[in-house]
Amino acid sequence: MISCTEFIPAYNELFRFIEQKQGKEAVVDFWNHLSDVFLTNLRDMVAAHGIRGCWMYWSKTLTEEAAAFTMELDEEKGEFSISMKYCPSKGRLLENKDIEPYKDYCRHCDVLYRRVLEPLGFSYELNISQNNTPDCTLKVKKTGSAGKGNKDSRT
């Protein structure tokens, strides 16, 4: 059995493996697929609760992932943000000397979540660290234009 605590290295290796097989575009295709089949919980929460759904989703997942972060929700403004100080996924990859982090590892967060949130009428902005460190910032804002999401995110 692969424990869920061993998933991140398995995920990292999966990106590298798919790229070796069919190139970078195939990795993005996989991320799109995973977004559609796996992130149904985020989609359902945001569809039912609006911007508050982001808070509900990430407060659970980041707690379970033991991340270091500050998360803010302003329902009146329709804004949600995360300032990630230590991303456990990227952090653990960088700390494990037997593993080489996939070079575009952090980009999966951009593709997977954008694909859920934009079609529901939210803008999604992710600033990934340019210094290969486990930190980033994420901002989600209600735009009111549901249905205009990028369903074919590619390189």
Residues of this chain that bind another protein (CB under 8 A): 1-11, 13-14, 17-18, 21, 30, 33-34, 37-38, 41, 52, 55, 59, 61-76, 86, 88, 91, 96, 98-100
Of 86, 80, 38, the closest CA to residue 56 belongs to: 80
At closest approach, how far in Å is the CB of 33 from another protein?
6
Nearer to another protein, 81 or 123 (CB): 81
Going by the DSSP 8-state scheme, the letter that residue 134 receives in this structure is: S
At closest approach, how far in Å is the CB of 11 from another protein?
7
Cβ contact 57:42 at 8 Å: yes
Nearer to another protein, 118 or 135 (CB): 135
Going by the DSSP 8-state scheme, the letter that residue 23 receives in this structure is: -
Nearer to another protein, 18 or 138 (CB): 18
Nearer to another protein, 59 or 133 (CB): 59
At closest approach, how far in Å is the CB of 142 from another protein?
12
At closest approach, how far in Å is the CB of 132 from another protein?
18
Of 41, 31, 39, 5, the closest CA to residue 102 belongs to: 31
Cβ contact 135:8 at 8 Å: no
Q: In a 3-state reduction of DSSP, which class is residue 80? A: strand
Of 7, 20, 37, 15, the closest CA to residue 112 belongs to: 37
- C-alpha span between 42 and 116 (Å, rounded): 8
Nearer to another protein, 60 or 148 (CB): 60
At closest approach, how far in Å is the CB of 40 from another protein?
9
